[in-house]
Amino acid sequence: MDKMTSPIRRRGRPPKISRSNTDTQALLISIGLAVLTEQGFSATGIETILKQAQVPKGSFYHYFESKNAYGLALIEAYDNYFQTKLKRHLNNETLPVLERIVCFANDAKIGMVKYDFKRGCLIGNLNQELAHLDPLLIRRLSQAYYHWENILAECLFAAQQQQQIAKHIDCQQLAEFFWTGWEGAVMRAKLNKSTQPLTLFASQFLRLVI
């Protein structure tokens, strides 16, 4: 078998538990998302995640080249998940346009109560660790915010087309403003163990645009 057709072998031992590579990799990402929405990336040891996944430490590098590569996979997974959630609310044509933002905020409040205010936004959490993050991770965080801003900007533009928002308002800038304030509201909600900061920010944002 020549070099072009030889299978690529990844370093690290395969897991002891019988499951496919794809399943194990997905499990590591799922557990990592749950852990890192509560804890910091820099402070969280890989051992914590491997223990929950029942994957030997030596097997981690069978799935990810480094902790940074794992971090990128987590950001990618969270970004995709959050874009899907945003589109479900903000593209919901059965609701008035601005009411969709209220529905998104209400959904976020339900999620925070469900996890006793321990979990927040993975992207927002990582954004507080910039001094300790690899430049590739930082760039990917910026891309995630850009994706979310675009989805909200499209919703706001639709409201503008329906004359619910003044024509002179820059919807892209307004979307950027929303995420800047929303992340702060999420952190305050965790601190206070209350959904009130989310309610306050969403209501004041809508007052600003109407």
CATH of the domain at 123: 1.10.357.10
Describe the chain by its helix, strand, coil percentages, rounded to 5: 70, 0, 30
What is the pLDDT at residue 20? 55
Residue 177: is its pLDDT beyond 70?
yes
Nearest-angstrom CA–CA distance, 79 and 42 = 19
**Residue 175 included in any domain:** yes
**Residue 35 included in any domain:** no
Greater pLDDT, 164 or 44: 164
Mean pLDDT calculated for residue range 87-91: 98
Mean pLDDT calculated for residue range 158-186: 96
**Residue 167 included in any domain:** yes
What is the pLDDT at residue 76? 97
Residue 189: is its pLDDT beyond 80?
yes
At 24-74, the pLDDT tens digits run 999 999 999 999 888 888 878 888 899 999 988 888 888 999 999 999 999
**Residue 179 included in any domain:** yes
Nearest-angstrom CA–CA distance, 169 and 81 = 29
pTM for the model stands at 0.86
**Residue 100 included in any domain:** yes
What is the pLDDT at residue 190? 95
Tokens 């309610």 belong to 199
**Residue 150 included in any domain:** yes
Give the total number of structural domains in the chain. 1
Report residue 3 as tokens.
Answer: 């070099």
Tokens 């304030």 belong to 181
Distance of CA 143 to the CA centre of its chain: 11
**Residue 166 included in any domain:** yes
**Residue 39 included in any domain:** no
What is the pLDDT at residue 38? 87
The parent domain of residue 71 ranges over: 67-209
Phi-psi category of residue 2: left, alpha or beta, with phi > 0 → left and psi -120 to 50 → alpha: beta
What is the pLDDT at residue 100? 98
Tokens 């029942």 belong to 54
What is the pLDDT at residue 136? 95
